[in-house]
Amino acid sequence: MVLCLLEAMKIDCEEMDIATNEENRKFMRENVPESCRPASGIPLPPQIFSDDRYLGDYDAFFEARENNEVYTFLGLTPPPGSREAEELAKRKA
C-alpha cells in the first residue's frame, strides 16, 4: 500500500528488502527509535525513512494519508494547487 501510493503520487522511493538482506534488516532495527518500537522490541516493516532519518511506520503513514499530509510526513513540499498545499497555506494565514 505504501509503495503503491507513493508511485501514484509520483514520489521517488526505494524499497529495501529485509527478508534476504541482513544489512537492511540491521539498519531498520537499529534506526527505529526506542520510543517507536513495539512491545516485542523488534520493529516490523514497513518502516519509512528519508535517507537515514526515521519518519514512521505504516500507521503513521496511513494517518498522514488520511489527513492529506503525505508530503509533509515525508519532509517534502506539496505540489502547488494540491489539497495538502492549500491546507498548509490556510494554517499559515
pLDDT at 93: 86
Summarised one tens digit per residue, pLDDT across range 21-60 is 999 999 999 999 999 999 988 999 999 999 999 999 999 9
Where in 9-81 does DSSP place strands (E)? 47-50, 53-57
CATH of domain 2-92: 3.40.30.10
Contact 34, 80 (CB under 8 A): no
Regarding pTM above 0.85, the answer is: yes
Contact 52, 60 (CB under 8 A): no
Of 52, 90, 62, 87, nearest to 78 by C-alpha is 87
Q: In the predicted model, what is the mean pLDDT of the chain?
A: 95
- Average pLDDT score over residue span 65-90: 96
Task: List the chain domain ranges.
Answer: 2-92
- Residue type for 71, please? Y
